[in-house]
Amino acid sequence: MAAQTVGVLALQGAFDAHAASFREVGVKARQIRRVADLDGLGGLMIPGGESSTLLNLMADEPWFDGLRRFHDQGGVLAGTCAGAILLSREVRPQQPSLGLLDAVIERNAFGRQVDSFEAPVDAPALGGAVEGVFIRAPRFQALWPEVDVLGRLGDEPVLVRQGRVVAATFHPELTRGLAFHRYVADLARTTQGARSTPRSNRPRTQPTP
Ligand code: GLN
């Protein structure tokens, strides 16, 4: 497998910007429009957009099976915003998701008044503060103990990792910073072929009602 090649799911959303960021960190990036295109990739980025629209577009092909298999076989999956929603275990309001990240996530959770905003994310794992662009952003309501918080906005987790799954509720691809893409690319290079870790059912924090 060419682990240095990453894919960007190119069904909807800011996939061009992600591909450009990967190329800037010296990684080959391919736009992925078919399940069969996942072959040979070390990692896949699922971009932001609108998760319900993305789900509709994914109905044409067995994407859920294909992405779960990709993960099982050692591929890294990263998601930003709508991508993070798709990766999570439980979505509020309820909608189908891959369930590869043990998190409860709520869509559009910052309310209409603060539809979009920019704020620094404190992310020591990425080398310090990164610029965060939040657009109709979701919010993690609960994280299982296996999930590591890599970045926070105030107290709030906004960048998390569980094994080979990385999820951000903001849009790193819309800023000039490359730390997020470098991190994902490094992960795709170093964890290739790793086996899935067992997942538990115990929530770290109870979801708020
Ligand atoms: N609000 C979108 C959703 O629920 C996500 C927004 C985004 O990806 N910028 O899918």
Q: How far is the CA of 108 from the centre of ligand 1 (A)?
A: 7
- The preferred substitution site among 135, 140, 173 for testing ligand 1, maximizing ligand atoms within 8 Å of CB, is 135
Q: How far is it, in rounded angstroms, from Cα 121 to Cα 133?
A: 9
Residue 126 per-residue DSSP state: G
| Arithmetic mean of pLDDT over the chain | 91
Mean pLDDT in order along the chain per 10 residues (209 residues): 78 95 96 96 96 97 98 96 98 98 96 82 96 96 98 97 98 96 94 54 53
**Token digits for 64?**
């859920």
Is 142 in a helix, a strand, or coil? Answer: strand
Please give the distance of CA 39 from its chain centroid, rounded to a whole number.
19
Q: How many CA atoms lie within 13 A of 173 on its CB side?
A: 27
Q: How far is the CA of 134 from the centre of ligand 1 (A)?
A: 9
Digit-coded pLDDT (tens) for 142-178: 999 999 999 999 999 999 999 999 999 999 999 999 9
Digit-coded pLDDT (tens) for 169-200: 999 999 999 999 999 999 999 876 554 455 55
Q: Within a 10 A sphere around the Cβ of 113, how many other Cβ atoms?
A: 5
pTM of the model: 0.92
